[in-house]
Structure 1
Amino acid sequence: MKKIWLLIVFVCALSACSDSQRSNKNPYIPNYSVNLSVDMNLPAYSNLKFVSNGVIVPNFGAKGIIIFNAGNSYNAFDAACPNQEINSCAAMTIDGIYAVCSCDKVQYSLFTGLGSKEYPLKQYKVEVVGSVIHVYN
């Protein structure tokens, strides 16, 4: 029984079992402190009330923060291209349910943060209270 328990702990350590879904260790995007609140009752953020809509909030993180309504939850990602040097690209753009890198045109799912390259989008924690979305790390 001890061997099985040790095996589970070892496998969990290798697969990064934790409260976060993926590692945010990305050599291209620095770890900026993020503490952002947006009110969906304001016109600039009212589209976030509807599933599959997103907005980019500038001046937070490396290149801004993308907030996306994924249905049962909200996702928040850095708008910096995750597989490019920080100064080589403009902020990503939103194209439907994808964030698109301005340098290489790679699309990243705003539901999962995954694209076709090595690093996924840098994700932040999200908490929703009433109509206010709080994004932080």
Structure 2
Amino acid sequence: MRHLWSCILLFFLISCNSDGTNRNPYLQEVSFRFDLNLNLPSYNKLSTIGNPVYIPNNGVGTRGAYVMKTGFDTFFAFEASCPNHTPNNCSTMSLDGQNVVCSCEDFTYNLFTGEQLNRPDDGKRYYDLLFYRTTQRGNIITISN
């Protein structure tokens, strides 16, 4: 019986590891919750797949968020501040179709995946967009972190 408990303990110790994800050093992960009512005219674009909407920083993330319908009942939300430098006067990204562009260094990110599209090949670490959770209940989309 003692060996059984030793094996179980060993199993748990082996299965525990430190989180291997790299947190973005430029953006703080702010806790928030924001509800979007899809019945409001300002969010009409979210009824069609591929039409992003900018949510200003009224308690949403660091610089606001970009929200886009990506599937039948699937929505993605990403931080509006460029993930590859600290927030400053040029770090709030602007829409370019289904992409967002940072005016500081013209980095472009895809709103379907959050991936940086024009990543330099200079050996430095670059980050993709900071993803926020989205849930839908009826006509309410909740964005949270």
* Smaller-chain TM-score bracket: 0.7 to 0.9
What do the CA deviations read for 1:37-64 (whole angstroms, capped 9, x no partner)? 0011101111000010111111121111
Cα shift readout 1:74-127 (whole Å, capped 9, x = no counterpart): 100000000022125241111111011121111101011000341000001000
Shift of 1:68: 0.8
Q: Greater shift after overlay, 86-95 or 53-62?
A: 86-95
- For residue 62 of structure 2, what is the aligned residue in structure 1? 62
Q: Provide the residue aligned with 1:134 in structure 2.
A: 142
Matched, 1:121 2:125: no
Larger radius of gyration: 2
In percent, how many aligned pairs have the same letter? 35
Three-state SS of the structure 1 residue aligned to 2:42 is: helix
Point out where structure 2 has 5 or more consecutive residues left out of the alignment.
1-10, 120-125
Contact 1:35 1:134 in 2 (8 A): yes
Runs of 4+ in 1 over 6 A off after TM superposition: none
- Structure 1, unpaired ranges of 5+: 17-22
Tell me, what secondary structure is at the counterpart of 2:71? Answer: coil
Matched residue, 2:71 = 71
TM-score by length of 2: 0.76
Tell me the secondary structure at the aligned position of residue 105 of structure 1: coil
Q: How many residues are matched? A: 125
The answer to which of 118-127 and 100-109 deviates more is 100-109
Does the Cα contact within 8 Å between 1:24 and 1:122 map onto a contact in 2? no
Partner Cα separation in structure 1 for residue 79 and residue 109 of structure 2: 12
- RMSD of the TM alignment (CA)? 2.4
Shift of 1:25: 1.4
**1:82 corresponds to 2:86:** no
